[in-house]
Amino acid sequence: MTLKWGIVGVAGIGASHAKALKDMEGVELYAACDVVPEVLDNFCEQFGVPHRFTDYGEFLKSEVEVVSICTPHFLHTEQVIAALEAGKHVLCEKPLAISVSETDAIVAAAQKAKGKSGVVFQHRLDPPVQAVKKVLPELGELVRGFYECHHFRTMTYYRQGKWRGTWWGEGGGVLINQAIHDLDVLVSLLDLPKQVTARLSNWGHNGIEVEDLATAVFEWENGAHFVVHISSVASALPTRLEITGNNATVIQEGRSVRLGRYTTPLRQFLEESPEVWGSPKAVWEDVPVDMSIPHGHKDAVQQFAKAILTGQEPIVSLSEGAKSVELVNAMILSHFTGAPVSIPVDRSAYDALLTELKQGVKRLR
C-alpha cells in the first residue's frame, strides 16, 4: 500500500512535511497546491512532486489520498472540512482553527468522514513531557501548578506575511501561534480546567494587533490553581513546568525532570499534624528522560502516516487538537470581558468578540 500524499501551502511549514515524507516507505509525494505559481513550481522541483495545483478544488478532485494542511490559520477550517468531505485523510498544522465554533464544525465533519484525521502537536512527544506524564499517577489529587514559556519573535518575523499579527488572519498572537504547543502539552497532561482568568498585552510589537504577553490562572473543580505565563518578548529563559499533587511534585525545566515525594500527603499533614509551623518533607530524585524516543515535527508527521498504513489511531485527534484552541479563546475572552470564563467557552460570545477585534472596534493597544 502506497499513500498518495498532497501538501497544501508550500511556502513555509509545508516543506517540513515534504522532508518528513520524501523517503518514507509507503508514502508518495503525489501533489502540491499553492496560490503562488512560482513558489509551487520551486517546491515541486525540489521534492520531485509530479502533480501541482493552484486551485484547491481541483487538487481535491485528484487521486490524492492524504492531505497536509499547511496554510495560514484563517484557511484551516474551510480546507480541512472540504478535504474530509472529499473522503481524504487529513493532517492539519496547528492551530486546528482560530475559534471554538470553527473547531466544533471541523470535529463534526470528522465524525462523519471515513478518513483519519489529526493535528500536528509534536511537543506531546518531547522526552521530558513523556517523563512527566509517566510519573503523573504518583502525584495524586491536583493542588497547584505553574508553567512558563517564552517564544521570542522579532517584527521581521511578523512582516513575512500580511496575515501574521492580525485578528483576521492569525486569530491571536503568541497564544495561538507559538504557545498553542505549550497549551496542548498542558491539556495532554491535565485535560481542560473548569475556569480561566487571564490578562493579555502587547508590550513590544508596535506593528501588530495581537498579544505578545499573557498570564492566566486555570482553576479545576477541586479548587486547584494553575498559573501560566507566556510571551514572545522575553528571551534566554527556560521553559518551566511545575505540577503539585497531594502526594508529590514534579518539576520540568528544559531536559531536566525531578520528582519530590512527600513523606506525608499534604491533606493528611494539614489535618493531622500537631505542629504549628511544620510542613511535609519531600524526598527528591531525578526522573530518567529518554532522549532516544521518536520526537519532533518529522516524527509527528511520520506517525500520522503510520497510523493510516497500520490502521491505528493518530496521536492527536481533531477533538484533542481543539482543546488548546478552547484555552486560547478562553484567555482572550477573559481579558476583554475582565471576568473569569467557564469551560467550555461560550461560542456566540467569542464569535462576537472576534468580529469586533477583526473590525478594530476593540483593541489591545
Q: What pTM did the predictor assign? A: 0.97
**Residue 72 in domain:** yes
Tell me, yes or no, whether 242 lies in a domain.
Answer: yes
Which grid cell is 87? 473522503
Residues 297 and 345: their CA atoms lie apart, in Å, by 29
**Strands of 282-344, DSSP E:** 282-286, 341-342
One-letter amino acid at 183 equals: L
Question: What pLDDT is stored for residue 320 in this prediction?
Answer: 98
248 located within any domain: yes
Whether 134 and 272 share a structural domain = yes
The count of domains in the chain is 2
Do 236 and 178 lie in a common domain?
yes
225, 144: one domain: yes
Domain span at residue 97 reads: 3-121+296-316
> In this structure, which amino acid lies at residue 59?
F
Q: Could you count the other beta carbons within 10 Å of the beta carbon of residue 151?
A: 18
Are residues 9 and 100 located together in one domain of the fold? yes
Whether 364 is in a domain gets the answer: no
Q: What is the pLDDT of residues 24-55, one digit of tens each?
A: 999 999 999 999 999 999 999 999 999 999 99
Same domain, 347 and 268: yes
- Residue 1's pLDDT is 83
> What integer pLDDT is reported at residue 26 of this predicted model?
98
Are 195 and 138 a contacting pair, CB within 8 Å?
Answer: no
Co-location of 95 and 157 in the same domain: no
Collect the ranges in the chain with pLDDT lower than 50.
none
Assess whether 103 and 147 both reside in one domain. Answer: no
Same domain flag for 308 and 280 = no
Backbone angles phi, psi at 352, to 5 degrees: -65, -40
Residue 214's DSSP bridge partners are: 200, 230
Same domain, 71 and 130: no
Distance CA 362, CA 359 (A): 8
Residue 38 and residue 13 in one domain: yes
Q: Give the domain CATH number at 181.
A: 3.30.360.10
Q: State which amino acid sits at residue 51.
A: H
Q: How many CA atoms lie within 13 A of 140 on its CB side?
A: 14
Q: Quick check: is 365 in a domain? A: no
pLDDT tens for 169-188 read: 999 999 999 999 999 999 99
Report if residue 348 sits inside a domain: yes
- Whether residues 80 and 222 fall in one domain: no
338: left (phi over 0), alpha (psi -120 to 50) or beta: left
Residue 268, domain member (yes or no): yes
Is 79 within 8 Å of 71 (Cβ atoms)?
yes
Could you tell me if residue 267 is inside a domain?
A: yes
pLDDT at 143: 98
CA quadruple 229, 235, 236, 239: dihedral, nearest 10: 30
Residue 95 sits in the same domain as residue 139 = no
Helix, coil or strand: residue 310: helix
Write the CATH number for 108.
3.40.50.720
Helices and strands (DSSP H and E) totals, the chain: 13, 15
CA-nearest of 102, 61, 51, 7 to 325 is: 102
